[in-house]
Structure 1
């Protein structure tokens, strides 16, 4: 048993099918899950730092936006950690069912969700802590977006597809050219048309 298979056996959820259902490489799955877990914990910590910062400063409109940004970042981080690492939230009974429901969805759904919940905190407070914390959640969404694209074809498959498309386009273009030439009307000059004035009427 290889190291990747051992890690896969350790990291798989209870009741999960051990056979992979898609062509996504194992390292990309672990990268998405690991960055989602660690990145959401960092996002929660940095969001808390933004919220605590309001205690140390005067309250005005700017600090209110920073507070809202910090709370949003903490909620987004908690949401991602519920999906990516339900073992961190064992005290909440519906977390495992919710995580399993999200796990059954296509990867692009998760990518769109993570990217969309990461952006509001950055727009509300474009500070270093918001950009870094929410950026980790956004990067997790980008990884899931790449996973939704699927496996890259092998070099032989790409060469065969390119040759097949080239041959098809050559056959199609030569066939179309010959059809256009065969259907073309011959060019001839029939003379000037007769009008009523020339015939002497």
Structure 2
């Protein structure tokens, strides 16, 4: 599931970057970085051979579900707030929904 979220967020970030508006380019770049963060947090096996990603993947092992929910949900709002288009809503909406799922997992069964 998270590889699909990564791929869609990355593709929509590239699609958003193809513009002449500076806010569109910035929002697309942030969305691409967000896709990389999702990949490093969710599938650290993909990036285990890069020295730069090791501290981030070790940090992601210590993070609880509620903290992941806040990280993903908070970071997904930024590109949509900068440049509100269909591509930013689709790409960041998937990341936001992953954050919501982590929040629901942290609440537990009631």
TM-score by length of 2: 0.89
Partner residue in 2 for 1:65: 23
Cα distance in 2 between the residues matched to 1:124 and 1:45:
18
Q: CA RMSD in A?
A: 1.6
Give, in angstroms, the shift of residue 87 of structure 1: 2.2
Q: Deviations over 1:126-150 (max 9, x none)?
A: 1111000000000000000001101
Give, in angstroms, the shift of residue 86 of structure 1: 1.4
Cα distance in 2 between the residues matched to 1:81 and 1:69:
18
Partner residue in 1 for 2:87: 129
2:38 maps to 1:38: no
Alignment of 1:17-166 (within 5 A): 34=1, 36-51=2-17, 53-54=18-19, 59=20, 63-152=21-110
Q: Deviations over 1:57-93 (max 9, x none)?
A: xx3xxx1111111001000110111110112223413
Relative to total residues, which structure has the larger helix share, 1 or 2? 2
Q: Which runs of 5+ in 2 are unaligned?
A: none
Displaced runs of 4 or more, over 6 A:
none
Cα distance in 1 between the residues matched to 2:28 and 2:49:
24
Tell me: higher relative CO, structure 1 or 2? Use CA pairs within 8 A at least 6 residues apart: 2
Cα distance in 1 between the residues matched to 2:103 and 2:44:
21
Return closer, same or farther for 1:112/1:104 CA change in 2, 3 Å cut-off.
same
Q: Which runs of 5+ in 1 are unaligned?
A: 1-33, 153-201
TM-score by length of 1: 0.51
Return closer, same or farther for 1:125/1:138 CA change in 2, 3 Å cut-off.
same
| Preserved contact between residue 41 and residue 81 of structure 1 (Cα < 8 Å) | no
